[in-house]
């Protein structure tokens, strides 16, 4: 699998991928993540709508959406299963590999 630059292609909304970014210390990080495109996920349907990137209201003020953002996915945190990536900018992503076959 090759890394895909986000300037060339973005993953489907809320699909789990591996994302790469540099944190505030300049260190490269790879994390399981999901991308939220603008106007695709209602805030009330998302676990983390109070994150730093926040939400956006439609012009008519009727609907609140999660703002465009990347979120790290942590599968072992129980109910709180992720957090917005705010300490750097995601530059690349790739699909997750398939898990190993049962032996």
Per-residue pLDDT tens digits for 30-49: 999 999 898 877 777 776 54
pTM, 2 dp: 0.77
3-state secondary structure at position 69: strand
- What was the pLDDT predicted at 78? 62
Residue 55 has a CB neighbour count (10 Å cut-off) of: 18
3-state secondary structure at position 45: helix
Give one DSSP letter per residue of 5-55, joined into a string. ETTT--PPTT--EEEEEE-TTS-EEEEEEEEE-TTSSBGGG-TTTTSTT-E
- What was the pLDDT predicted at 23? 85
Per-residue pLDDT tens digits for 45-98: 776 545 555 777 878 888 888 888 888 888 776 655 677 787 888 999 999 988
Residue 9 has pLDDT above 90, yes or no: yes
Query: Rounded mean pLDDT of 26-31?
Result: 91
Report how far residue 77's alpha carbon sits from residue 98's, in angstroms, rounded to the nearest whole number. 22
- What was the pLDDT predicted at 18? 96
């Amino acid at each position: 699998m090759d890394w895909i630059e986000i300037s060339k292609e973005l993953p489907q909304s809320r699909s789990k991928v591996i994302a790469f970014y540099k944190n505030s210390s300049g260190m490269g990080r790879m994390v399981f993540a999901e991308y939220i495109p603008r106007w695709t996920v209602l805030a009330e349907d998302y676990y983390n709508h109070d994150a730093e990137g926040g939400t956006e209201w439609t012009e008519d003020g009727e609907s609140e959406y999660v703002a465009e953002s990347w979120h790290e996915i942590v599968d072992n945190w129980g109910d709180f299963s992720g957090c917005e990536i705010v300490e750097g900018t995601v530059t690349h992503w790739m699909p997750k590999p398939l898990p190993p076959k049962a032996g």
